[in-house]
Amino acid sequence: MGALHAGHLSLIERCKSECDNTVVSIFVNPTQFSPTEDLNKYPRDLENDKKLLANENVDYVFIPKEEQIYPCDFQTYVSVEKITKILEGEFRPTHFRGVTTIVNILFNCVKPDYAYFGQKDAQQVAVIQQMVSDLKMGIGIVVCPIVRDSDGLAMSSRNIYLSSKEREKALTLHNALLYGRKFIEEDKEMNPQVVLDNMKVIINEAKSIELDYVAIVNTYDFREVDLIEEGNEYYILIAAKVGNIRLIDNELINLS
């Protein structure tokens, strides 16, 4: 959606290393924002985005206008069912319908062989993978690692709205995730509730953080687990508001 940063550029670099042509779309999608969310305040810097993409030597930049994507008679939406009802879907009930609709439209316009997404939006990627599989689109979805600033904060276009004190508070989320990961991988704690309870202690010690959820889920269906088992992969997911800015982050746990 623009306001490009090093996380976005890492997707471009991965694509360029694997594909003959690279197309970058920029479109702030109104249908994935609820009326109470920050559509009008979402960061936009198209001129800088174009400079960054020129430096990356991408082959095409696709910047459609809103009326081209959603003309006045638009009435078709794409909905993925089960996985969109939990976690992010519970707190943002209209969000994923907007995501799957716009991604479907962009896929139809560009007709890619592969599409590159960041792990930071892990549930969103899983929703898109489900859509691509269900609708037999034949597009390879490539998930790329989270890119973090030097202090560990996951890169996000919304980070520019954090004050210095809020940014310091936001690092608590990553610290809690690292603690949870160590608790599982090194200390071999296989009771997810014990891990989550200890993570919540870390988060609650930092004031001004409004936790939406912290969860340990399977990577294939995003259902919360009752037991962590060797041989499986899990995400530890977190979503919280720091001040007025809502942030999400995760750690991938691979016990195979």
pLDDT digits 0-9 by tens, 186-223: 999 999 999 999 999 999 998 889 999 999 999 999 99
Q: Give catalytic status of residue 8 as yes or no.
A: yes
Sign (positive or negative) of CA dihedral 185, 189, 193, 199? negative
Check 5, 8, 95, 174 and give the catalytic one: 8
E strand residue ranges, the chain:
23-25, 60-62, 114-118, 140-144, 209-218, 233-242, 245-254
Q: How far apart, in whole angstroms, are the C-alpha atoms of residue 221 and residue 131?
A: 13
Query: Is residue 150 domain-resident?
Result: no
Residue 149 lies in a domain: no
User: Total structural domains in the chain?
Assistant: 2
Q: Are residues 18 and 140 in the same domain?
A: yes
What range does the domain containing 185 cover? 157-254
Could you tell me if residue 152 is inside a domain? no
What CATH number is attached to the domain comprising 52? 3.40.50.620
Check pLDDT > 90 for residue 256: no
pLDDT digits (tens, 9 = 90+) for 40-89: 989 999 999 999 999 999 999 999 999 999 999 999 999 999 999 999 99
Give the three-class secondary structure for 15.
helix
Looking at 86, 110, 144, the residue that finishes a domain is 144
User: pTM for the full model?
Assistant: 0.95
